[in-house]
Structures are given as structure tokens and as C-alpha cells.
Amino acid sequence: MDGKGLVASRLTAIRAQLPAGVNLVAVSKFHPVGALLEAYSVGQRVFGESRVQELMVKHDELPKDIEWHFIGSLQTNKVKYIAPFISLIHSVDSLKLMQEIDRQAERNNRKIDVLLEVHIAQEETKHGMHPSALFELLERGEWKSLNHIRIRGLMTMASFVSNEVQIAHEFELAEHLFSDVKKQFFSGDESFNLRSWGMSDDYPIALLHGANIIRVGTAIFGARE
Ligand SMILES: *Cc1c(COP(=O)(O)O)cnc(C)c1O
């Protein structure tokens, strides 16, 4: 089948279902710039990538009003490449990474928004901090002196299972965790307000459990090669 128009129509259909206040990140990893341009042509401006090299190439080639989100695991030695332009890093899972993002943000005279990635899924393969590690990090407080990052909220991934009850339970845990963290560490901070959960297969469930950023790839762009 001719793919022309398919990306645009899938994207438009998904957008039409989203409640106000939910931000859709079009996860474009492994897809060619032509596919991103098709999404762009129907108004999509937020794209998510998970590899630094690929992101840099796409950032170079595509229109400058795109807001790039980094969603993959990020090595500290690569932060410098994306620091000049990245809008939101979803996948921050250590103090060391926060410190490096802060350092590179300062070098670029900017503040970089980040999410703390938590591991809630039962599978051991996922990235992110266990909730206990998250609280420990926040309690230690070093992050408070990092003036060039802004912690905007939490990100998580549900288990890769078909059991919707389990997925709903995991997103519910994420929602509660967000409230607890907000109350304990960010109560006066209106910018701590982002809840990034939900992908192609589970975003409708995520939306029932507090997500206000969803990261959708396959349902927009089709299967990745
Ligand atoms: C690839 C990826 C997605 C998108 O997954 P789809 O199932 O293709 O929608 C979302 N979040 C993260 C962290 C990813 O790596």
C-alpha cells in the first residue's frame, strides 16, 4: 500500500480522541525524515527520538520550530550533543545524569526541562528508578542546586503485556507516585506538572490514569524496521 497520507490520517485520528491538555509526542525513531515531514504537514510539532545520533541528523534536516523530546536511555557523554536544542528529556534516571544535563545546559545558557523516569513495570528489562530510589534521590537534595534543569514531572512505561488490568494498575501506581512526589518535594512548584505515560498500545489506559503526555510511535508511523 502507498504510505502517502497514512501517517497524516492516523495522526489526525489519534489527535481527535485526545482530551484537551494532553500533549502528543510523535515517536519517530527509526523512521525517515519524510514520515516526520508528513506529520509536520498536518501540524505536529513535537517529536520524540531515542538515539542521540539519529536525533541530531533529524534536528539538522527538519524545520526549526519542531520541539524535540529525548525518550531513550541517555549516556552522560552524549548529553552535550543535544543540550543546545532539546526541549524535554523524559528519561532521567540518576543524579549523575541530572548533573551533566545541568552542566551542559549552563554552557548553552539555557534551562533544560527533564522528567524523572520511574520503573513501575514488573519486567526487569525496563529502565528507570525504582520508587524507593526516586525518593532517596529527591530526599538527598543535591538536585536543588542544579539551576539549569527544571524537573517537570515523571515518566514511566507499563509492562509489555496484554493484560489491561495489570497495565491500568501500573499507571495508577505512577499517578499516585506523582501525587506523592509533588506533595513532598514540589508542592509550591506549578511547573512540576507533567505525567508522561502511554504508548501506542496502552495510551487510552494511560489517559484514564492521569497521563498528560503520551508517546506514540507505531500507531502513527507504522512498524519500525
Ligand atoms: C519507542 C518508544 C515509544 C513509542 O512506542 P510505540 O509502541 O511505537 O508507540 C514510547 N516511549 C518510549 C520510551 C519508547 O522508547
Using alpha carbons, list the distances in angstroms from residue 195 to 103, 123, 176, 182, 184. Answer: 25, 21, 11, 11, 16
Instruction: Establish whether residue 158 lines the binding site of ligand 1, counting it when its CB lies within 6 angstroms of any ligand atom.
Output: no
Query: Could you report the per-residue pLDDT of 132-158, keeping only the tens digit for each?
Result: 999 999 999 999 999 999 999 999 999
Query: Could you report the per-residue pLDDT of 7-29, keeping only the tens digit for each?
Result: 999 999 999 999 999 999 999 99
Q: What residue's CA is closest to ligand 1, atom 13?
A: 71
> In which band, very low, low, confident or very high, does the pLDDT at 225 lie, cut at 50, 70 and 90?
confident
The answer, yes or no, to whether residue 127 has pLDDT greater than 90, is no
Instruction: Establish whether residue 71 lines the binding site of ligand 1, counting it when its CB lies within 6 angstroms of any ligand atom.
Output: yes
Closest CA to 123 of 166, 93, 91: 166
How many A from CA of 223 to the centre of ligand 1? Answer: 11
First CA to last CA distance, the chain = 16
> In which band, very low, low, confident or very high, does the pLDDT at 1 lie, cut at 50, 70 and 90?
very low
The answer, yes or no, to whether residue 176 has pLDDT greater than 60, is yes
Question: How much is the pLDDT for 125?
Answer: 64
Strands 112-118 and 213-216: unpaired
Ligand 1 atom with least separation from CA of 29: 1
Ligand 1 atom with least separation from CA of 221: 8
Residue 177: which region, alpha, beta or left (left: phi > 0; alpha: psi -120 to 50)?
A: alpha
Query: What CA–CA distance (Å, rounded) separates 135 from 133?
Result: 5
> In which band, very low, low, confident or very high, does the pLDDT at 3 lie, cut at 50, 70 and 90?
very low
Instruction: Establish whether residue 215 lines the binding site of ligand 1, counting it when its CB lies within 6 angstroms of any ligand atom.
Output: yes
Share of the chain above pLDDT 90, in %: 95
Contact 48, 203 (CB under 8 A): no
Ligand 1 atom with least separation from CA of 201: 7
How many A from CA of 83 to the centre of ligand 1? Answer: 22
Contact 113, 88 (CB under 8 A): yes
Averaged pLDDT for residues 125-130: 82
> In which band, very low, low, confident or very high, does the pLDDT at 41 lie, cut at 50, 70 and 90?
very high
Q: What residue's CA is closest to ligand 1, atom 12?
A: 71
Using alpha carbons, list the distances in angstroms from residue 133 to 32, 39, 93, 119. Answer: 37, 38, 9, 10
Query: What CA–CA distance (Å, rounded) separates 184 from 204?
Result: 29
Instruction: Establish whether residue 50 lines the binding site of ligand 1, counting it when its CB lies within 6 angstroms of any ligand atom.
Output: yes
Question: How much is the pLDDT for 2?
Answer: 40
Residue 59 grid cell: 534536528
